[in-house]
Structure 1
Amino acid sequence: MATTADQARVALGVRLRDIRRDAGLSGTQLANVSGWPPSKVSKIEHGRQTPTEADLSAWCDVCRAADQLPDLVAAVRSIETQYAEWRRVLRTGTRRRQEASAKAYEKARLFRIWEPAVIPGLLQTMSYATAVLATVIDFRLIPDDAEEGARARLARQRVLADDDRRFHVVIGEQALYTNVGGTDVMAEQLRHLLRLLRFPQLRLGIVLRDSPYRVPLHDGFWILDEALVQFDTYTAELSLIRPDEIGIYARAFERLAALAVYGPEVRKVISAATVGSQH
């Protein structure tokens, strides 16, 4: 079975083949000019060999495609690193995963976050975070360290107090109603959200449940500055660094943010959910 790294390598090979063809060169011609064996070009283009950054530089130089080099370099750097297998990351529980995320957060100054069905980790209470991680632990059949993981997750929230950071968070209205941990946990979490609205660094928007369909809706994602997009699947955590991919997620976030309500309307929507959670 092809791994995600294999698939990314094949996609890169297709891009390089197109660049070569656009330059009007055969594989043999490219290999000869670059001083490579002819088989190297074929292996790279069919995803059987990962090119080095030096290979990419030579490829773009010969094909007169220097403008594409930065994006290709980003692609090759991400092939082996953009997919972190959950079994490896979580094999000792959830705490180390939370601590690893904190390192990325410390570097970022602009956070753009979309979560359709749950409250994002940066805005969670201890009880809510524990319940979320308990679900992950039960689903993944990994060591139970939900409380330790939750404490590490809350420790990441110290970035919220930094005046030089900005947080634009957009959630789906459903996140206010997804029953995480029970009635008391939800009521506490919603009250906490209302308190967080006082933070000048935080801009919170809510996409209402009857909002028009203006962007393909998938799972949540986080954009850190203009450098990284992170999101989870059932089997992997993906970290994207290619500028074109980051641009696509930035466009999706802009459209979701345009659908959201803000300010007094957000307080009204959360307050209504808070009343509902108490019944």
Structure 2
Amino acid sequence: MTFEPEQLGRSKADLAETLRDLRKRAGLSGDRLARRCAMSQSKISKIETGKTTPTLVDVERILRALEASPQLITEVTALARIANTAWQDARALRRKGLEKKQAELADLERTSTEFRFFLLSMITGLLSTPEYARASLDHIPGDHSKAIAKKIARQAVLYDETKRFTFLLTEQAARWPTLPAPAMAVQIDRLASLSHLRNVRIGVLPLAGRMPGCPLNTFTVYDDRIATVEASNGALVFRDARDVSAYLEEFAAYENHARFGDEARELLAEWASAFRR
């Protein structure tokens, strides 16, 4: 399915209106529909007024209860999938201020327990040195000192042992020369150091050897409820369980091929040494 960013803004209202109209055309009250699909009447009301965004499973249950045609089910579930997806435009985020994005990430980290990061081309902020964090924003005009400070402050979450982190870094992500060689060596040393934390697993995916599939994007999965997928001009945020599950499966496939523990640290030491030559 192709997502148009402008669709993502209006789809929730469209979905609510569509489901409400279908119920009325079927001649059912909200209470009767709720009983048919084993939901509460208040949930049906919130869905139809746009206060709650239903999952794909919710929508399918409602459509089956309404005895919708296969074609209608296809059309409405497509709308539901768009409604469960948000587009975060990079230019809009910059206009709001990058420090606000850092605050949003900190809130997401505060409310999540298990984190899975697949890092295709760069090191994420939670693992970066201040120099790397600064360099990662060099291409964006303006003063980003507040955003960088908040990015570094977010790293405190790594020391909360009630939370679990798994980071998978491709060799490209670890070795891409974002900084001068000596500073890159320090950054890679930091990865090795953080890998000793009891609640943090850092896996590396060296270029040598075969890998499953072909990764296209950096992505993060928060618990099993949200997946964020990065693009050069923004990010997609998926909340539907099926979409999140797809990214969990992709992550697991790469995780099975990653090097962890001493094996990962040996590779990191080798890459850091290469920058020190």
TM-score interval, normalised by the smaller of the two chains: 0.7 to 0.9
Report how many aligned residue pairs link the two structures. 241
- Among candidates 131, 134, 140, match of residue 130 of structure 1: 134
| Secondary structure, counterpart of 2:220 in structure 1 | strand
Q: Which residue of 2 aligns with 1:228?
A: 226
Paired with 1:198 and 1:166, the residues of 2 have a C-alpha distance of 13
Structure 1 stretches of 4+ with a deviation exceeding 3 A read 7-10, 28-32, 55-60, 71-77
Asked if residue 33 in structure 1 is aligned to residue 26 in structure 2, the reply is yes
Counterpart Cα distance in 1 of 2:243 and 2:9: 13
Partner-residue secondary structure (3-state), 1:255: helix
Matched, 1:161 2:159: yes
What corresponds to 1:54 in structure 2?
A: 48
User: Which secondary structure state, in structure 1, belongs to the residue aligned with residue 162 of structure 2?
Assistant: coil
Report SS of the residue matched to 1:206: strand
Aligned-pair Cα RMSD in Å = 3.5
1:77 to partner: Cα distance: 4.7
Is the alpha carbon distance of 1:193 and 1:64 closer, same or farther for their aligned partners in structure 2, counting shifts above 3 Å? same
The TM-score, its normalising length taken from structure 2, stands at 0.76
Counterpart for residue 175 of structure 1: 173
Residue correspondence of structure 1 range 139-154 to structure 2 within 5 A? 143-154=141-152
How far residue 144 of structure 1 moved from its aligned partner, in angstroms, is 1.4
TM-score (norm. length: structure 1): 0.75
Residue 189 (structure 2) aligns with: 191
Rounded Cα–Cα distance in structure 2 between residues aligned with 1:113 and 1:263: 17
Amino acid across the alignment from 2:104: A
Structure 1, gaps ≥5 residues long: 18-27, 37-51, 138-142
Q: 2:211·2:254 contact (CA, 8 Å) conserved in 1?
A: no
Contact 2:168 2:255 in 1 (8 A): yes
Q: Equivalents in 2 of 1:213, 1:29: separation in Å?
A: 47
1:118 correspondence with 2:111: no
Q: Give 1:209's match in structure 2, choosing from 195, 203, 207.
A: 207
For the structure 1 residues 184 and 144, does the alpha-carbon distance in structure 2 shift closer, same or farther, using more than 3 Å as the test?
farther
The code of the aligned residue for 1:275 comes to S
Write the distance in 2 (CA, Å) between the matches of 1:237 and 1:156. Answer: 20
Unaligned runs of 5+ in 2: 30-45, 50-58
